[in-house]
Amino acid sequence: MAARKRAPSEESLEPQPKSQEKPTTTNSTTDLPPIAPSKAAQILKLSLIFFVPYSYLIFSHYSIDADLKRSIIINAVLSSVGFFVTLTMIPVASRYVLRRNLFGYDINKKGTPQGSVKVPESLGIVVGIVFLVFAILFQHFNFTSDSNWLVEYNAALASICFMILLGFVDDVLDIPWRVKLVLPSIAALPLLMAFAGHTTIIIPKPLIPYLGLEVLDLGWMYKLYMWLLAIFCTNSINIHAGLNGLEVGQTIVIACAILIHNVMQIGVSSDPEYKQAHAFSIYLVQPLLATSLALFSYNWNPSSVFVGDTYTYFAGMTMAVAGILGHFSETLLIFFIPQVLNFLLSLPQLAGFIPCPRHRLPRFDPQTGLLTGTNDGTLVNLFLRQFGRMSEKSLCILLLVFQAICCCFCFLLRWFLTGWYK
């Protein structure tokens, strides 16, 4: 069951009167206080850790076709504009969202002054809409397009758009969690219908003697696998949550890893179709990274806005789509190791063997400002139980570092196994 990130407005037991400023429709948005300024400068400086090596790889280290390079750069420029647009729109949208009582209280600050601030929810809708606009506009600029590419791209947009819609409907109407599990399966359908690629897998070399074949055509089983992957990616990000900045942070780390992987594969490969597949992934993940960085500037500890299921579903689906249509879904799964671990830890409670509370968040002590792990089956609580009590910020940083380590482990694994298994 997805742990709600923060106590949403309907969770609190006092009935919620609509804000008193709201009786007139015209000027009420200006009465509400603005959210805290973004931490964009800080975030951008940190992100150089990624952007500098990434740009080096694209421009200098590898020799990439001029056309392809130009498309990637155009996409990067559009994504940067998307970053600024998202950065500007989040405070604007926050006023509208607060006006409609879509807010929550930060449970992990309960007992401190910060814990009684109304934090606007579902700002993932801003990220989603800006992403869609720029992803749609990019089609016009992409020079290396052909009909098959357009089908996959439009199917990707349809799937991602449908997921954002379902995520936002969930945030607004608060759908029962069993229905929530099923939503990504519906949103993934355009993807499945349009997938025109190979449904074959390459047998790892060590196993060829035992199986007697080099490639295996899985047919409909491959489509089933894609479908399950989409459902998994969206829901797994949703349940690995609960700390300020964790949802966006994990997405950013994985997105960086995906982009580095894509660039490396384009650089070393000579198969144009293979390069096109990885470029396709870049075209989706660059805007995801840029808009997420903008959201992170407001969502990092202490959170000025909450992201909502809209964001986690959107991010999960976008990365699943990139992995599926870019043909690197096994690599994606290794990037997702923390999410997989979290899912496995959560299984007993999700399946009902162990009682599952509404929130499986750690316990916050207002006196010390530290979190203590409970016995719930989540990675957050596991880390607290292993490493002792710590502040929310430190814990989140630790988890993000763990995410980065898993991604690096994936690169190491691929390097060791190159030539050996494929």
Residue 139 binding its own copies, by CB under 8 A: yes
> Among residues 146 and 271, whose Cβ is nearest to its own copies?
146
Residue 254 is which amino acid? I
> Among residues 175 and 397, whose Cβ is nearest to its own copies?
175
| Vertex 220: Cα angle to 225 and 315 (nearest 5) | 30
Residue 327 CB burial class (10 angstroms; 0-12, 13-18, ≥19): middle
Residue 168 binding its own copies, by CB under 8 A: yes
Smallest gap, in angstroms, from Cβ of residue 50 to its own copies? Answer: 30
> Among residues 161 and 319, whose Cβ is nearest to its own copies?
161
> Among residues 8 and 249, whose Cβ is nearest to its own copies?
8
Contacts of 388 (CB under 8 A, 6+ apart): none
Name the nearest CA neighbour of 237 among 254, 260, 259.
254
Question: What angle, 0 to 180 degrees and rounded to 10, lies between the N-to-C axes of helices 392-417 and 246-268?
Answer: 20
Smallest gap, in angstroms, from Cβ of residue 361 to its own copies? Answer: 16
Residue 123 binding its own copies, by CB under 8 A: no
Binding test (CB under 8 A) with its own copies, winner from 193, 211, 224, 417? 193
How many residues sit close enough to its own copies to count as binding (CB under 8 A)?
55
Binding test (CB under 8 A) with its own copies, winner from 57, 72, 87, 93? 93
> Among residues 128 and 326, whose Cβ is nearest to its own copies?
128
Contacts of 64 (CB under 8 A, 6+ apart): 58, 72, 266, 267
> Among residues 186 and 208, whose Cβ is nearest to its own copies?
186
Residue 224 binding its own copies, by CB under 8 A: no
Residue 322 binding its own copies, by CB under 8 A: no
Cα dihedral 402/407/408/409 (nearest 10) = 90
Binding test (CB under 8 A) with its own copies, winner from 194, 254, 282, 356? 194
Residue 22 binding its own copies, by CB under 8 A: yes
| Vertex 96: Cα angle to 92 and 100 (nearest 5) | 160
- Cβ density class 383-420: b for 16+ within 10 Å, e for less: bbeeeebbebeebbbebbebbbebbeebbeebeeeeee
Binding test (CB under 8 A) with its own copies, winner from 60, 63, 66, 173? 173
CA distance 302 to 39: 10
Binding test (CB under 8 A) with its own copies, winner from 57, 64, 129, 371? 129
Smallest gap, in angstroms, from Cβ of residue 238 to its own copies? Answer: 18
Stretch of residues binding its own copies (CB under 8 A), selected from 110-118, 122-130, 392-400, 410-418: 122-130
Which two three-digit tokens encode residue 291?
Answer: 């808009």
Residue 102 binding its own copies, by CB under 8 A: yes
> Among residues 14 and 271, whose Cβ is nearest to its own copies?
14
> Among residues 261 and 360, whose Cβ is nearest to its own copies?
360
Residue 161 binding its own copies, by CB under 8 A: yes
Contacts of 227 (CB under 8 A, 6+ apart): 185, 188, 192
Binding test (CB under 8 A) with its own copies, winner from 74, 117, 133, 260? 133
Residue 158 binding its own copies, by CB under 8 A: yes
Name the nearest CA neighbour of 101 among 81, 70, 76, 122.
122
Residue 18 binding its own copies, by CB under 8 A: yes
Smallest gap, in angstroms, from Cβ of residue 81 to its own copies? Answer: 15
Residue 317 binding its own copies, by CB under 8 A: no
Q: Which helix (H) or strand (E) holds 319?
A: helix 308-325
| Vertex 286: Cα angle to 260 and 149 (nearest 5) | 95
Name the nearest CA neighbour of 82 among 266, 228, 284.
284
Which two three-digit tokens encode residue 288?
Answer: 């995801």
Q: By the criterion CB under 8 A, which residues form the site for its own copies?
A: 10-11, 13-20, 22-25, 93, 96-97, 99-102, 125, 128-129, 132-133, 136-137, 139-140, 147-148, 150-151, 154-155, 157-158, 161-162, 164-166, 168-169, 172-175, 186, 189-190, 193-194, 358
